[in-house]
Structure 1
Amino acid sequence: MAEPTVLAEAPETPPAQARPKWYRRPWIVPLFVIVGLFVAARLPGYLTFDTGDSLVDLQEAFPETHYLMLSGHILFGSIAIITCSMQVWPWLRQHHPKIHRISGRVYVFAGVVPSGLFALVVSILSVIGPAGKIGNVFLSLLWFAVTFAGLVAARRRRFQEHRRWMIRSFALCTSIVVNRVWLVIFLVALMPFLDGYYGGDMDALIEDAAVASIWISWVVNLMIAQWWLDRKPKRAKRVAPATKVAVGV
Structure 2
Amino acid sequence: MSGFVVMGITAFAASAYVTLDMSQARPEVHGPAHYGLLVAHIFTGTVAVVAGVSQFWPGLRSRHPRVHRVMGRVYFAAVLPSALLGIVCAQLSFYGLATSGPLTVLSVLWFASAAQGLRTARRRRFGAHRIWMIRGFALTSAAVTGRLWGLLLGGLLPDADGLLVFTTANWLSFVVNLLVAEWWIQSRGYTRALPSEALKPSISSRSAQSSASVA
Identity of aligned residues (%): 38
Match of 1:189 in 2: 156
Preserved CA contact (<8 Å) 2:11 2:46: no
Match of 1:220 in 2: 176
Shift of 1:190: 2.7
Residue from 89, 110, 128 that aligns with 1:161: 128
Aligned pair count reads 189
Greater C-alpha radius of gyration: 1
Residue from 45, 62, 73 that aligns with 2:41: 73
Preserved CA contact (<8 Å) 2:14 2:43: yes
Say whether residues 1:88 and 2:60 are aligned partners: no
Q: Could you tell me which amino acid in structure 2 is paired with residue 114 of structure 1?
A: P
Q: 1:74 to 1:232 in 2, by over 3 A?
A: closer
**How far apart, in 2, do the equivalents of 1:178 and 1:91 lie?**
26
Q: Could you tell me which amino acid in structure 2 is paired with residue 218 of structure 1?
A: F
Between 50-59 and 154-163, the greater mean CA deviation after superposition: 50-59
Structure 1 runs (4+) deviating above 3 angstroms are: none
Residue from 106, 117, 134 that aligns with 1:139: 106
Shift of 1:47: 2.7
RMSD: 1.5
Q: Could you tell me which amino acid in structure 1 is paired with residue 61 of structure 2?
A: R
Preserved CA contact (<8 Å) 1:80 1:173: yes
With a CA cutoff of 8 Å and minimum separation of 6, indicate the structure with the bigger relative contact order. 1
DSSP-derived class of the 2:183 partner: helix
Between 207-216 and 123-132, the greater mean CA deviation after superposition: 123-132
**How far apart, in 2, do the equivalents of 1:37 and 1:221 lie?**
18
Preserved CA contact (<8 Å) 2:49 2:140: yes
Structure 2 gaps of 5+ residues are 190-215
Q: Could you tell me which amino acid in structure 2 is paired with residue 161 of structure 1?
A: A
Alignment of 1:103-182 (within 5 A): 103-109=71-77, 111-182=78-149
**How far apart, in 2, do the equivalents of 1:232 and 1:159 lie?**
15
Q: Could you tell me which amino acid in structure 2 is paired with residue 224 of structure 1?
A: V
Q: Could you tell me which amino acid in structure 1 is paired with residue 2 of structure 2?
A: P
Preserved CA contact (<8 Å) 2:10 2:143: no
What's the TM-score once normalised by structure 1's chain length?
A: 0.72
Residue from 19, 24, 28 that aligns with 1:48: 19
Deviations 1:119-147 (A, max 9, x none): 11110112233132111111011011111
Preserved CA contact (<8 Å) 1:46 1:70: no
Shift of 1:232: 4.9
Match of 1:58 in 2: 29
Select the structure that is richer in helix: 2
Q: Could you tell me which amino acid in structure 2 is paired with residue 231 of structure 1?
A: S
Q: Could you tell me which amino acid in structure 2 is paired with residue 58 of structure 1?
A: V
